[in-house]
Amino acid sequence: MLKLSVLDQSTAILGRPQDESIRTTIELAKRCEDLGYSRFWVSEHHNHPAIVGSAPEVVMAAIAATTDKIRIGSAGVMLPHYSPLKVAEQFRVLDAIAPGRIDMGLGRAPGSDGKTAHALNPNARNAADQFPTAVRDLMAWATGKELVENHSFSDIQAFPKSATNPDTWILGTSDYGASVAAHFGIPYCFAHFITDGQGVGRALDLYRDNYQPSPRFPLPLATVCLWALAAETETEARHFYASRAYNKVMREYGELGALISPEAAVEFSYNNAQKAHFNSLTDEAIIGDPAQVGSTLREIASAYEIDEVVVLTWAFDPLVQRRSYELLAEEFALSKIRDA
């Protein structure tokens, strides 16, 4: 049976306070736990008018304190911005709040533009090139293992210690991230929603073919995160998707902004090229009634030989987003999987 998980990005909604988006994410996490979803991940973006989730570790703490079973994760912490030791300490605290339920998802991309990345860490020259080394050190600190021999900080530990540890994931859209995950013997998630599926098969093959078994994960564990929206009918789903389609069209012209209503998105005065793009996005999106979306998710999972899919959903109305997750939970009988 296919398991489903959630990625939420705390999307900005036109006409609503941005802080409300953070609270909506926390409320959604509790609802998804009740529905039987396996994981709830939150993302990290900076200086992004459409996505206001800038501090996943803080949101994770709030979710951890208000849930009991669902795994909670970052998707991901953009490691080049930070000290591995500091990230390890944050995730050791998170694991203390929710023992055995924390996924430490790591990314190499900036999650922002170059200037913003420099503002986040002015001293991080070539930090992205040091990503594998940073992952190695972070994993050691986060799990209480010794650092490599002759390490400059071998006498430093990350607290608090406990009987459980965060699970480290690598997130990405390229062969590079897949290679890093394979080298360290840790799970890997491909961001299907960023590339519209391009490169997934190659990255997963590379990951599995080069996987180095680890004590925690003797076998490779891979998944994909994709964008999907379910509604009671296909017509409704296509209508609700208009907000997302508008956002993607405008992004091509350098215009990033909060989600607008589907009505405003449909009525917008697009030029011919923009309208064609809007229509093609709608036709290709994973949207529809629960059976339609469920069929596509199952096909993708089968094609990539995975038993779990992470679903990202944007909607102008938070109730539409929540209803989409409810419908998919019913379609996949998630509560039965959870209780089995």
Peptide bond into 80 cis (omega under 30): no
pLDDT of res. 117: 84
Q: Is the dihedral of CA 51, 52, 53, 55 positive or negative?
A: positive
Structural contact between residues 51 and 43, judged by C-beta atoms closer than 8 angstroms: yes
pLDDT of res. 129: 81
Structural contact between residues 204 and 193, judged by C-beta atoms closer than 8 angstroms: no
Average pLDDT, the chain: 95
pLDDT of res. 111: 66
Mean per-residue pLDDT, 200-219: 98
Structural contact between residues 39 and 310, judged by C-beta atoms closer than 8 angstroms: yes
Structural contact between residues 332 and 230, judged by C-beta atoms closer than 8 angstroms: no
Confidence of residue 122 (pLDDT cuts 50, 70, 90): confident
Confidence of residue 121 (pLDDT cuts 50, 70, 90): confident
Confidence of residue 330 (pLDDT cuts 50, 70, 90): very high
**CA-closest candidate to residue 105, choices 74, 130, 82:** 74
pLDDT of res. 113: 79
**CA-closest candidate to residue 251, choices 32, 51, 96:** 51
Q: Convert the pLDDT of each residue in 76-120 to its tens digit.
A: 899 999 999 999 999 999 999 999 999 999 999 876 778 888 888
Structural contact between residues 291 and 331, judged by C-beta atoms closer than 8 angstroms: yes
Structural contact between residues 67 and 104, judged by C-beta atoms closer than 8 angstroms: no
Question: Which is higher by pLDDT, 326 or 129?
Answer: 326
Q: Convert the pLDDT of each residue in 241-277 to its tens digit.
A: 999 999 999 999 889 999 999 999 999 999 999 999 9
Structural contact between residues 292 and 327, judged by C-beta atoms closer than 8 angstroms: no
Q: Which residues pair with 231 in a beta bridge?
A: none
Structural contact between residues 247 and 262, judged by C-beta atoms closer than 8 angstroms: no
Residues with Cβ < 8 Å from 328, sequence gap 6 or more?
4, 228, 230, 290, 293, 294, 297, 311, 334
pLDDT of res. 288: 98
Count, in order, helices (H) and strands (E) of the chain: 14, 11
pLDDT of res. 158: 97
Mean per-residue pLDDT, 166-194: 97
Mean per-residue pLDDT, 21-40: 98
Map out the domains of the chain with their CATH numbers.
3-235+289-339 (3.20.20.30)
Q: Which residues pair with 13 in a beta bridge?
A: 259
CA 241 vs CA 17, 107, 127: distances in Å: 22, 27, 37
Mean per-residue pLDDT, 29-40: 98
Distance CA 39, CA 180 (A): 22
Mean per-residue pLDDT, 306-335: 97
The answer for 154, left when phi > 0, alpha when psi is -120 to 50, beta otherwise, is alpha
Peptide bond into 76 cis (omega under 30): yes
Distance CA 118, CA 11 (A): 24
pLDDT of res. 176: 95
pTM for this model (two decimals): 0.96
Structural contact between residues 105 and 76, judged by C-beta atoms closer than 8 angstroms: yes
Structural contact between residues 95 and 57, judged by C-beta atoms closer than 8 angstroms: no
Residues with Cβ < 8 Å from 274, sequence gap 6 or more?
249
pLDDT of res. 337: 77
